[in-house]
């Protein structure tokens, strides 16, 4: 639930263009060989571009990755034609877009989709039509509870829980407040995960759910403080979290609780927006590796963005998710012997071998089954005056709801 | 037939009818008076479109003050307008049918009555013509048809002969005479004194909302007050009328 | 818009004998359009089939807006919002009762019809701009409420919203129309039925009463028309049409979102109905086409869909200035000119 604010773009562009490695790394990540010329293989994506926030970042990095693939051998000589549709955060548009991509264009799979509403609208359609979907970033519950959709990320529920687990294990927190927007299968779902884990651990948990349309930060903060909990998890998108932290600063509440957030507050513009007061006092759980980490995939991601993306494309964790989705589907397509059809692609996805990446903690695979949540481990970062620094490496978010997937 | 007692109508500062008391009885009765005398206003009161500020109105012995316009239609009191009011986008026939709809006349009977009425007002040939394409006389006849189709006790017409050609006027007079013979009472407002003199048993003369005279047509039209207040304006016509 | 404006409208001459003959001559273009859609749309592909289905749903609601404007002289700036109300009832009833789609459709139409009558109540006192603003305020209010409460998705409680987390339910489609294509044809058939019903009503006693009211309150009273009741029937019918449209839309997508129902959409639909020429039954279809398909077509040509709004603005000015009977009127004139040319009749 990160928001690609222009501010973020600027900060990212300045911050990370320096940390680049030479373009050679880019080509390695996406293949080797002559530019692809054969009959294109169509891959689709549906993103919420126009609307309350721009969620198109993952499709931009996926597009850059596919361009790189096409320039370097393609899928055994055939290029990928990547078709991206905007759902405008509207279920009707999302349903029409899926019909267009799947029925009319004949895409063999979807990769890099990122939408607030698309999973819920189209999950059944994908299942009925045997289309496999690697979502770049899944936010609502529906993205994690469908037979044909597997998101790259952990999801905000596990990210929220991860923040709590870290505070439980390392800071001795024994009671929590979960603050989230009251959107069905979004805020409530996040906080339920915390409560289920808390029940197992004998930890007290409270919810402060609010109408997303009316955000009164001061009253939310006071409500949360009144519960007397050790830690407060602000499970909000960054634009909503910033005024909440500002309100807490106004009451000088920094020392009164442990302040936490899920990946959504891991935004390069966030430290400046909340100010020095909070330096060292906010910890965030992140679903992918840090944006400036120096692993192979993170390095390749940044260099592919520079070579094949636009300067204006965000370099954020959505973008990391899109890169991974494109990379994984490319590997799966390359491994298919015989016809590349939606059936063969879905089969290949369901039986794929798990893939490792420095962007992830564990290996990722699509997996069989009725729901998918392969990515279950993340890292912790602590906010500094001008950025974020890693404070804990990979650990699993032990959500009781995932018992069946882990077994 | 029409008994009016101390009737007053006011619109804001205007009092077009001022403590008017009047009795009219006859097969065809006339209402005359100069422009702005309050004739149309009185007709509006009788048909239930205007609520009087004071006074009572009785028709056929019944105080109708409490009846709404639609109820008066059901009770047998109908009217036409000074400027014909016909829906442009309904046919002549449909314009007439509206009154049958209001009275919820059963379908079969409604069809017969509609056909009879169209015949009677001479619109059988133009029945399917839209209101927007009817000429002045047909508009008048459509309105009269809408009154007739309900089988009324009383029809009230506001200057029905205005603007008619001689032949049309004759057809109107024939129609009204026929209706009257069949037992329908008629109240007619007109500036055409010949028409009034030729048709009406009784006449009332209004001026500035007051009654100038009322009674048998001959007597009233001979009344010097009437001649001064109203007929004076039509001296030439009057002379011709007497000569005829 | 005042009553007088509607009665000033130039009218076609035709009034042929016989219900079917009259309907065919008056609505020949519309009937042809329905047949053409049934024949051509199935071959346009899934995306267009879905878009045409939405367009049909909007057209049915637009018929209600056109009805209120042309028959009663009332401006309803809540057309899309009322469709949302219909969708809400459809979803709520479908999830709560599990009844067959057809029955849900009828019930949603009845409930939305009742809502339409309620929205018509202010019309007892207000008309013209004030009434238009009241409907716009309703549309805005509906948007605020439905955005925060959300459309029913199979949860419990009065609002039918899922709490916390659970599988969001999609509205079931009719058993005979599960596929997108079958559902499009189904929606087309419902639209044909709704348009026919509208035609029958306007040719019935109720329609004559509306015409009488347009001619003037005085003559309507004098002809025994119960104006309040006649108006309520129009508001009810317009509401029911919106209900059918909203319910069909909900069935098409399976769920609805507040974002589709912001007041600007209602405002736009009214403008398009005016451009289309609400005095013709075909206007609703034209308005639906402009509302739903025109932006999609521009989009498929790579032209920004928002350009459509600008074009609509110009078209509205054109309609007001030089084509008072709208596109439908111009098409009608054109087809009758051709017919006359072919049959050698000179009018
Ligand atoms: N609704 C109204 N509001 C205000 N004044 C009115 C109204 N109706 C009529 N009047 C006034 O009442 C007076 C009588 O009008 P009315 O129409 O009854 O006259 P009339 O005798 O029918 O005249 P004419 O021969 O010109 O038709 C006029 O001064 C007129 O302006
Ligand atoms: Mg008069």
Supply the ipTM of this predicted assembly. Answer: 0.88
Residue B240 has pLDDT above 60, yes or no: no
Q: Tell whether B244 is covered by a domain.
A: no
- Give the span between the Cα atoms of C147 and A213, in whole angstroms: 8
Sign of CA dihedral C215, C216, C220, C225: positive
**Integer CA distances (angstroms), B87 to B94, B119, B233, C287, in order:** 9, 20, 36, 27
A334 and C CB contact within 8 Å: no
Mutate to test the interface with C, among B68, B69, B97 (most CBs of C within 10 A): B69
Residue B130 sits in the same domain as residue B185:
no
Predicted pLDDT at A10? 40
Predicted pLDDT at A288? 93
Residue B223 sits in the same domain as residue B180:
yes
Residue A187 has pLDDT above 90, yes or no: no
Residue B134 sits in the same domain as residue B164:
no
Predicted pLDDT at C333? 74
How does residue A399 score in pLDDT terms, banded at 50, 70 and 90?
confident
How does residue A3 score in pLDDT terms, banded at 50, 70 and 90?
very low
Q: How many domains does chain B have?
A: 2
Ranges A4-8, C230-234, C291-295: which has the least confidence = A4-8
Residue B48 sits in the same domain as residue B165:
yes
Residue A364 has pLDDT above 60, yes or no: yes
Average of per-residue pLDDT across B172-201:
91
Interface of B with C in 80-99 (CB under 8 A): 81, 85-91, 94-95, 97-99
Residue B84 has pLDDT above 80, yes or no: yes
Return the residue whose CA atom lies nearest to atom 28 of ligand 1: B36
Predicted pLDDT at B243? 46
Return the residue whose CA atom lies nearest to atom 10 of ligand 1: B16
Q: Which residue of A has its CA nearest to C153?
A: A184
Residue B140 has pLDDT above 60, yes or no: yes
CB of B104 shorter than 6 A to ligand 1: no
Residue C3 has pLDDT above 50, yes or no: no
Flag if A91 and C164 touch (Cβ within 8 Å). no
Flag if B49 and C218 touch (Cβ within 8 Å). yes
A50 alpha carbon to ligand 1 midpoint, in Å?
62
What residues does CATH 3.40.50.2300 cover in chain A? Answer: 4-155+291-375, 156-286+379-406
| Helix locations, A130-186, DSSP H | 156-170
Residue B138 sits in the same domain as residue B91:
yes
Q: Which residues have CB under 8 Å from A281's CB, separation 6+? A: A254, A259, A383
Mean residue pLDDT of chain B comes to 88
Residue A9 has pLDDT above 70, yes or no: no
- Give the span between the Cα atoms of B115 and B78, in whole angstroms: 19
Average of per-residue pLDDT across B67-89:
91
Predicted pLDDT at A393? 93
In tens, the pLDDT along C83-124 reads 999 999 999 999 999 899 999 999 999 999 999 999 999 988
Which CATH number does the domain housing residue B7 bear?
3.40.50.300
Residue B122 sits in the same domain as residue B167:
no
SS3 assignment, position C154: coil
- Give the span between the Cα atoms of B99 and A105, in whole angstroms: 61
In tens, the pLDDT along A120-173 reads 889 989 999 999 999 999 988 889 989 999 999 999 999 999 999 999 999 999
Ranges A14-28, A115-129, A209-223, A278-292: which has the least confidence = A14-28
CB of B44 shorter than 6 A to ligand 1: no
A51-55, A184-188, B19-23, B92-96, range with greatest mean pLDDT: B92-96
CB of B37 shorter than 6 A to ligand 1: yes
Q: Which residue of C has its CA nearest to B83?
A: C219
DSSP notation for C101-149: HHHHHHHHHHHHHHHHHHHHGGGGT--HHHHHHHHHHHHHHHHHHHHHH
How does residue C344 score in pLDDT terms, banded at 50, 70 and 90?
low
Q: Tell whether B107 is covered by a domain.
A: yes
Return the number of CB contacts < 8 Å for B and C. Answer: 89
Ranges A208-222, C40-54, C196-210: which has the least confidence = A208-222
Per CATH, domain A4-155+291-375 is 3.40.50.2300 = yes
**C and A touch per CB criterion (3+ pairs under 8 A):** yes
Ranges A186-195, B117-126, B229-238, C21-30: which has the least confidence = B229-238
Chain C environment of B130 (Cβ under 8 Å): 11, 13, 15
Average of per-residue pLDDT across C304-319:
74
Ranges B231-235, C149-153, C288-292: which has the least confidence = B231-235
Average of per-residue pLDDT across C236-247:
97
DSSP B96: H
B200 alpha carbon to ligand 1 midpoint, in Å?
23
Give the sheet arrangement for strand A377-383, strand by strand. Answer: A204-210, A175-181, A231-234, A258-261, A282-286, A377-383, A388-396
Best CA proximity match to A120, nearest among A140, A99, A148, A102: A140
CB C67 within 8 A of CB C200: no
Q: Tell whether B81 is covered by a domain.
A: yes
Q: What does residue A50 show for φ and ψ, rounded to 5 degrees? A: -85, 140
Q: Tell whether B243 is covered by a domain.
A: no
Q: Tell whether B59 is covered by a domain.
A: no
SS3 assignment, position C25: helix
Domain extent, residue B98, equals: 77-151
Q: Given the CA of residue B9, which atom of ligand 1 is nearest to it? A: 12
Average of per-residue pLDDT across A355-380:
91
Domain boundary among B96, B117, B151: B151
Predicted pLDDT at C73? 87
CB A57 within 8 A of CB A94: no
Mutate to test the interface with B, among C12, C22, C208 (most CBs of B within 10 A): C208
Residue C13 has pLDDT above 70, yes or no: no
How many helices and strands (H and E) does chain A possess? 14, 12
Domain boundary among B151, B174, B208: B151
Residue B218 sits in the same domain as residue B161:
yes
Q: Tell whether B185 is covered by a domain.
A: yes
Residue B224 has pLDDT above 90, yes or no: no
Residue B176 sits in the same domain as residue B132:
no
Residue B166 sits in the same domain as residue B133:
no
In tens, the pLDDT along A224-260 reads 999 999 999 999 888 889 999 999 999 999 999 999 9
How does residue C21 score in pLDDT terms, banded at 50, 70 and 90?
low
Residue B94 sits in the same domain as residue B141:
yes
Largest CA-CA distance found in chain A, in angstroms, rounded = 65
* Domain with residues A156-286+379-406, CATH architecture: 3-Layer(aba) Sandwich (3.40)
CB A258 within 8 A of CB A167: yes
Residue C1 has pLDDT above 50, yes or no: no
- Give the span between the Cα atoms of A113 and A120, in whole angstroms: 13
Residue B83 sits in the same domain as residue B112:
yes
Domain boundary among B104, B121, B151: B151
Q: How many residues does chain B have?
A: 244
**Integer CA distances (angstroms), B118 to B9, B155, B186, in order:** 36, 17, 19
C20 vs A217, higher pLDDT: A217
Flag if C162 and A213 touch (Cβ within 8 Å). no
Q: Which residue of B has its CA nearest to C211?
A: B87
Residue C233 has pLDDT above 90, yes or no: yes
Average of per-residue pLDDT across A364-376:
89
How does residue C305 score in pLDDT terms, banded at 50, 70 and 90?
low
Predicted pLDDT at B230? 65
Residue B172 sits in the same domain as residue B140:
no
Q: What's the half-sphere exposure (Cβ side, CA atoms, 13 Å) at C241?
A: 32
Chain A environment of C161 (Cβ under 8 Å): 184
CB of B39 shorter than 6 A to ligand 1: yes
* Reported pTM: 0.82
Q: Tell whether B127 is covered by a domain.
A: yes
């Amino acid at each position: 639930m990160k928001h690609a604010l222009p501010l973020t773009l600027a900060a990212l562009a300045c911050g990370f263009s320096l940390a680049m490695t030479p373009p050679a790394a880019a080509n390695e990540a996406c293949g080797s060989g002559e530019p692809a010329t054969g009959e294109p293989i169509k891959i689709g994506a549906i993103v919420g571009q126009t609307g309350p926030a721009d969620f198109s970042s993952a499709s931009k990095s996926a597009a850059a990755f596919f361009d790189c693939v096409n320039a370097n051998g393609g899928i055994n000589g055939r290029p990928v034609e990547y078709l991206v549709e905007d759902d405008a955060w509207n279920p009707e548009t999302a349903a029409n877009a899926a019909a267009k991509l799947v029925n009319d264009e004949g895409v063999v799979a979807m990769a890099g989709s990122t939408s607030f509403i698309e999973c819920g609208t189209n999950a059944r359609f994908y299942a009925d039509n045997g289309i496999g979907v690697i979502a770049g970033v899944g936010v609502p519950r529906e993205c994690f509870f469908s037979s044909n959709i597997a998101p790259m990320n952990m999801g905000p529920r596990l990210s929220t829980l991860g923040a709590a687990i870290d505070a439980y294990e390392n800071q001795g927190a024994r009671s929590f407040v979960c603050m989230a927007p009251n959107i069905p299968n979004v805020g409530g779902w996040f906080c339920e995960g915390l409560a289920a884990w808390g029940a197992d651990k004998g930890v007290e948990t409270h919810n402060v759910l609010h109408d997303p349309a009316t955000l009164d930060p001061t009253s939310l903060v006071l409500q949360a403080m009144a519960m007397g909990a050790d830690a407060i998890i602000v499970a909000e998108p960054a634009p909503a979290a910033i005024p909440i932290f500002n309100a807490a600063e106004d009451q000088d509440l920094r020392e009164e609780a442990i302040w936490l957030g899920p990946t959504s507050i891991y935004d390069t513009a966030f430290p400046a927006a909340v100010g020095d007061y909070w330096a060292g006092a906010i910890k965030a759980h992140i679903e992918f590796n840090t944006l400036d980490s120096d692993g192979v995939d993170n390095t390749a991601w940044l260099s592919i963005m520079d070579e094949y993306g636009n300067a204006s494309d965000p370099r954020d964790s959505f973008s990391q998710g899109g890169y991974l989705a494109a990379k994984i589907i490319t590997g799966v397509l390359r491994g298919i012997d015989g016809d590349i059809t939606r059936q063969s692609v879905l089969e290949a996805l369901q039986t794929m071998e798990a893939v490792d990446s420095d962007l992830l903690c564990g290996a990722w695979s699509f997996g069989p089954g009725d729901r998918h949540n392969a990515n279950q481990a993340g890292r912790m970062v602590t906010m500094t005056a001008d950025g974020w620094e890693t404070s804990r490496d990979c650990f699993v978010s032990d959500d009781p709801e995932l018992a069946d997937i882990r077994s | 037939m029409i008994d009016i007692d101390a009737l007053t109508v006011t619109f804001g500062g205007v009092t077009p009818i001022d403590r008017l008391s009047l009795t009219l009885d006859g097969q065809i009765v006339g209402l005359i008076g100069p422009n702005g005398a309050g004739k149309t206003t009185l007709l509006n009161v009788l048909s239930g479109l205007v609520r009087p500020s004071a006074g009572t109105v009785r028709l056929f012995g019944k105080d109708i003050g409490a009846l709404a316009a639609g109820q008066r239609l059901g009770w047998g009191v109908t009217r036409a307008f000074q400027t014909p009011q016909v829906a442009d986008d309904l046919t002549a026939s449909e314009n007439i049918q509206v009154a049958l709809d209001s009275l919820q006349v059963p379908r079969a009977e409604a069809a017969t009555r509609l056909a009879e009425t169209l015949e009677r007002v001479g619109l059988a040939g133009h029945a399917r013509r839209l209101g927007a394409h009817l000429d002045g006389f047909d508009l008048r006849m459509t309105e009269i048809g809408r009154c007739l189709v309900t089988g009324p006790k009383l029809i009230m017409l506001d200057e029905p002969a205005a603007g008619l050609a001689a032949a049309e006027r004759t057809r109107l007079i024939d129609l009204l005479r026929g209706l009257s013979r069949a037992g329908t009472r008629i109240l007619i407002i007109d500036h055409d004194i010949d028409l009034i003199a030729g048709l009406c048993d009784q006449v009332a003369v209004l001026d500035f909302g007051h009654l100038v005279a009322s009674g048998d047509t001959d007597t009233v039209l001979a009344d010097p007050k009437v001649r001064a207040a109203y007929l004076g304006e039509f001296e030439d016509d009057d002379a011709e009328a007497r000569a005829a | 818009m005042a009553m007088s404006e509607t009665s000033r409208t130039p009218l076609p001459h035709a009034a042929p004998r016989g219900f079917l003959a009259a309907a065919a001559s008056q609505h020949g273009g519309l009937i042809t359009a329905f047949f053409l859609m049934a024949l051509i749309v199935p071959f346009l592909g899934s995306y267009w089939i879905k878009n045409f289905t939405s367009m049909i749903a909007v057209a049915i609601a637009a018929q209600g807006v056109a009805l209120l404007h042309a028959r009663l002289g009332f401006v309803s700036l809540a057309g899309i919002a009322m469709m949302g109300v219909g969708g809400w009832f459809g979803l709520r009833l479908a999830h709560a009762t599990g009844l067959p789609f057809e029955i849900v459709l009828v019930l949603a139409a009845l409930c939305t019809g009742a809502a339409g009558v309620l929205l018509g109540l202010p019309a007892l006192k207000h008309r013209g701009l004030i009434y238009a603003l009241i409907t716009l305020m309703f549309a805005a209010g509906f948007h605020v409420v439905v955005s925060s409460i959300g459309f029913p998705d199979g949860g419990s409680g009065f609002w039918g919203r899922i709490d916390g987390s659970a599988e969001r339910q999609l509205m079931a489609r009719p058993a005979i129309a599960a596929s997108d294509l079958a559902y499009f044809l189904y929606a087309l058939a419902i639209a044909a039925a709704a348009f026919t019903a509208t035609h029958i009503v306007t040719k019935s006693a109720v329609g004559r009463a509306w015409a009488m009211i347009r001619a003037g309150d005085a003559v309507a009273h004098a002809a025994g028309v119960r104006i309040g009741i006649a108006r309520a029937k129009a508001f009810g019918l317009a509401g029911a049409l919106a209900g059918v449209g909203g319910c069909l839309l909900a069935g098409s997508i399976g769920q609805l979102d507040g974002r589709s129902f912001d007041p600007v959409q209602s405002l736009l639909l009214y403008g398009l109905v005016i451009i289309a020429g609400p005095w013709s039954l075909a206007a609703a279809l034209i308005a639906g086409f402009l509302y739903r398909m025109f932006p999609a077509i521009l989009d498929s040509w790579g032209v920004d869909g928002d350009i459509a709004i600008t074009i609509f603005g110009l078209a509205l000015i054109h309609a007001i200035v030089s084509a008072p009977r709208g596109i439908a009127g111009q098409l009608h004139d054109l087809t009758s000119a051709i017919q006359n040319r072919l049959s050698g009749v000179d009018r």
